[in-house]
Amino acid sequence: MSQTTRLTDGRKSFEVKKYTFATEVIPRLSCHDPECEERIANGLPVVIPDVNLVASARHWNIDYLHDNIGDGKFMTYFSSSKKFKYYDDKKCPNVKSFKKPMEQEELTFDDFVQKINKGKSKGQRCYLQQTLNETVGKNIVSDFLGFNWNWVTAQQKKNSFGPLTNNMLLIGQEGNITPVHYDEQENFFAQVYGYKRFILFPPEEFPNLYPHPTYHPCDRQSQVDFDNADFEKFPKFRNATGFETIVGPGDVLYIPIYWWHQVESIPIEGHTISVTFWYKGRPTPEKVTYPLNAHQKVAMMRNIEKMIAQALNNPDEVPEFMQNMVLGRYT
């Protein structure tokens, strides 16, 4: 295995792959610690080990879910590598040369369990990623109602988050990786079973992470492959510096809106079960204060890119247009 480094979740320590960039550890603070509140208020990541957000799901495992989750359908992704690079199906027509980095299929939970058992033999990995909905069985409903809604709703209110958009159930195989991307929502990420490594970068690192264009199926995802970075194409990736942690059962990681993150199910620790709590971002303040902060600039870049792609009415013309506008003039 290439160079490794050791990381702890506060209880166990893990050997993880060392990447080319430096990282600092994400603080792990009690939900009763004023500094924890402060970090969330300031849009900074924090690991919270004692909030019991999903303690009512502490007994969740594959068998329990299989017996109780009901006969609904679960979106499941399949990849021939360890990477599960998300893509937006609706944007595929914009990039003719785009090759889907993974397949997707809606399965019953029973089919999914069979796939994870069979998949191992055929060298194909799978990742269940499905919004929890009303098709789940009554025991799951009562576990869901048992989540610490008081705490998370209090956080939503005091930090002026928008509405809860959804809770996604994630079940991954050991070694699965969700490559580095950012989301446009606030996220309290609750780890239920198994261990996940998170690598985070603040929105200021946008220039070092080279996201795909907004019309690209992999909008919001970095073009840089951490396992094989092309430093010619992406020279500023050398300057990237991030934060990282390991989350284990019961931990909650606050992932601030627009923060980049890569998620790895630790290779030898078995499958992982997680639940996300995604909230729309804070409403834009009436009074804009200057200078604009990094995530306001990311939002601006996204709006400008979308406007240009729409005005040209042809994604293929955008690269040349952007280069003509900037190269040699703003460089």
Chain residue whose CB lies nearest ligand QVN: 178
Site string for ligand QVN, 261-300 (x = CB under 6 A): x-x----------x-x------------------------
Residue 276 touches which of Zn ion, ligand QVN, none (CB < 5 to 8 A by kind)? ligand QVN
Judged by CB under 6 A, which of 94, 129, 130, 208 binds ligand QVN?
129
Judged by CB under 6 A, which of 14, 21, 60, 86 binds ligand QVN?
86
Name the residue nearer to Zn ion (CB basis): 143 or 254.
254
As measured in angstroms, the least distance from the Cβ of 262 to Zn ion is 9
As measured in angstroms, the least distance from the Cβ of 224 to Zn ion is 16
Examine residue 183 and tell whether it contacts Zn ion (CB under 5 A): yes
Binding part of the chain for ligand QVN, among 36-44, 130-138, 181-189, 309-317 by CB under 6 A, reads 181-189
As measured in angstroms, the least distance from the Cβ of 189 to ligand QVN is 5
Name the residue nearer to ligand QVN (CB basis): 20 or 166.
166
As measured in angstroms, the least distance from the Cβ of 130 to ligand QVN is 10
Examine residue 246 and tell whether it contacts ligand QVN (CB under 6 A): no
What is the rounded CA–CA span in Å between residue 128 and residue 75? 6
Examine residue 192 and tell whether it contacts ligand QVN (CB under 6 A): no
Would you tell me which residues interact with Zn ion (CB under 5 A)? 183
